[in-house]
Structure 1
Amino acid sequence: MQGRAKATRRSLLEAASRLFEERGYAGTSISDISALSGRTSGAIYFHYAGKEKLALAVMEELFATWPALIARHRGTDLPALERLVALSFSVARAFRDDVVVRGGSRLWAERKSVDASLPSPFGGWIETVVGLLEEARDEGALAPAVIPRKAGNAVVYAFFGLHTVSDALDGRKHIEESLHDLWHLLLPALQADPRPTPLLDRVQARLDGADAPPVSVAPAAGTSNAPPSGPEFSPV
C-alpha cells in the first residue's frame, strides 16, 4: 500500500511538473493534472491538498536535487576545476532532461503566484562554486590573479544567464554545446596553465560514461505512468 501511494504521488508530481512547465502555474488546473496523470481529482487533494501544495512539492523536489548532485561531484578525487566543470554539465543536463527540474524552474520564476516561503536564490550555488575555486587555488591550478569570491560570482552569473538565453531560444536543446563554448571562454582566465580543451575532453568522456549522475525523466504525455539538507539553491 505504501509503495502504491508513493507511485501515485510521483505520478502526480511529474504530470504537474510537465504542465507547470508548459502552461505556468495560473494556466494549470487540477483537472488538467488529473487528465494527464490518469489519477482522480480526489487523489490529488488526498495526497497534496490542492494545486498550491502540489506546486510547492515540485519546487521542494527541485531544491532537493542539487545538494545530492553537488555532493556526488565534490566527493571525487578529481582536480577541483574538473569537478566544477563536470558539475555544471550535470546541472545543465538536469535542466534539459528532468521534467521536475524544468517545471520547478518555471514555478520559481512565477513564485509570486504561489503563496509559499521559498529558499533564497543563488546563495548556495555561489558558495559551492567559490569553494571549488578555493580548492583549485590550493591545488595550484588557479591563475594567481583570480580571486575565488569574485570569480565565483561571475561564473554563476554567466552560467545561469546562459540557461536563460538557451531556454528562450530553443528550450535548452543545445545547452551542452553552449556551455562547452562558455567554458572555452572562462577556463583560460581561470587556469594557471590555460589548457581548456584537454580538461573539457576529460570531463565529457567521464560524463558520457557510467559515472554520469542520473536524472529522472517523466513519461511523455499520453503514455502510461508506470536529499539531504544543504545550502539553499535557486532552480532557475
Structure 2
Amino acid sequence: MFDERGYAGTSISDISALSGRTSGAIYFHYASKEKLALAVVEEHFASWPRMIDRHRSSARPALEKLVALSFTVARAFRDDVVVRAGSRLWMERKAIAAPLPTPFVEWIEVVTELLIEARVNGELAAGVEPVPAAHSVVCAFFGLHTVSDALDGREHIEQHLRDLWRLLLNALQAHPDPGALLDRVHTATAPDAPPTQPPLDEAVLTRAEA
C-alpha cells in the first residue's frame, strides 16, 4: 500500500483491512505509522548488501560485475514490492517524522571500488577517475529509474538500462565494446527469481518479534 498510495495515502486502518490484522495488533509492534514506514525502508536497505556481495564475489571482470549488478538492482526495483515501497517512502521522507537511512552513499562506494578494480586490471579508459565517475554512474542509474517509473512503471527498464550502458561503456572501457560486454552479462546472468519472502505484514512483524 505504501508503494501504490504513498505515505500520506496509507493509513493504519487501511493496512489492517488488507493484512487481516487488527489495528491494535499493528500498534503493538509499531507505535505509529512512522515506525512502520521506517521498518519498510530499513528492509529496503537490507536487501542491497546481499545483491552486492553476490556480484562482487564473482570471477567476472570488474566492469562486467558492475553492469550485472545494475541489472539485478533494476529488476528488484521493478519486481520487489518492498524495494519499491521503501524507495517511494524515502522520496516522501519529509512527511515522515522518523530518521531514515541515507541512500546512495553505499552505492557510490561500491561503484568506486569496482571502477578502481577495473583500473588496476586495465579495463578502465585512461583519464577516467573512479570517484567522480562513480558519482556520475550512480546519478545516471537512479535518474533512469525515476524517468522509467514515471513513463512506463519501469516496464521497459532493462532495455533502457542497456541503452544507458551502451553510452557509458564507450567512455569507461579502455577498449570500448559495449555490445559484447552486455551480451556476456546477459548470457551469464539470468533474471533473478521473484524474492522468496513472506507477505509484507508477516515480514516486518516477524522481524519485530525476533
TM-score, normalised via structure 1 length: 0.80
The letter of the residue matching 2:5 is R
Q: 1:216 and 2:198 equivalent?
A: no
Q: Structure 2 residue aligned with 1:114, among 77, 89, 96?
A: 96
For CA contacts below 8 A with separation 6 or more, give which structure has more relative contact order.
1
Q: Point out where structure 2 has 5 or more consecutive residues left out of the alignment.
A: 201-210
Q: Structure 1 residue aligned with 2:180, among 184, 198, 207?
A: 198
Q: Structure 2 residue aligned with 1:78, among 25, 46, 60?
A: 60
After superposition, the C-alpha distances for 1:68-105 in whole angstroms (9 at most, x for unaligned) are 21111101111000000000000000000000000111
The letter of the residue matching 1:113 is A
SS at match of 1:145: coil
Q: 1:97 to 1:218 in 2, by over 3 A?
A: farther
Take 2:171 and 2:43, find their aligned partners in 1: how far apart are those partners? 35
Map of 1:22 onto structure 2: 4
Q: Structure 1 residue aligned with 2:128, among 142, 146, 164?
A: 146
Alpha-carbon contact 1:99-1:217 (below 8 Å) kept: no
Alpha-carbon contact 1:99-1:218 (below 8 Å) kept: no
Q: Structure 2 residue aligned with 1:175, among 150, 154, 157?
A: 157
Map of 1:186 onto structure 2: 168
Q: What do you get for the CA RMSD once the two structures are aligned?
A: 1.8
The alignment covers a number of residue pairs equal to: 200
Q: Structure 2 residue aligned with 1:163, among 141, 145, 155?
A: 145
Alpha-carbon contact 2:115-2:124 (below 8 Å) kept: yes
Take 1:206 and 1:97, find their aligned partners in 2: how far apart are those partners? 20
The letter of the residue matching 2:173 is Q
The letter of the residue matching 1:140 is G
SS at match of 1:141: coil
Take 1:40 and 1:174, find their aligned partners in 2: how far apart are those partners? 38
Question: 1:120 offset after TM fit, Å?
Answer: 2.3
Question: 1:217 offset after TM fit, Å?
Answer: 7.0
The letter of the residue matching 1:39 is R
Alpha-carbon contact 1:69-1:213 (below 8 Å) kept: no
Take 1:195 and 1:186, find their aligned partners in 2: how far apart are those partners? 11
Q: Structure 1 residue aligned with 2:109, among 127, 133, 153?
A: 127
TM-score, normalised via structure 2 length: 0.90
Map of 2:18 onto structure 1: 36
Taking only the aligned residue pairs, the percentage that are identical comes to 68
The letter of the residue matching 1:216 is P
Alpha-carbon contact 1:143-1:193 (below 8 Å) kept: yes
Take 1:172 and 1:217, find their aligned partners in 2: how far apart are those partners? 21
Take 2:144 and 2:154, find their aligned partners in 1: how far apart are those partners? 9
Q: Point out where structure 1 has 5 or more consecutive residues left out of the alignment.
A: 1-18, 220-224, 227-236
Take 2:76 and 2:48, find their aligned partners in 1: how far apart are those partners? 10
After superposition, the C-alpha distances for 1:82-141 in whole angstroms (9 at most, x for unaligned) are 000000000000000000000111100000111111222311111110110000011101
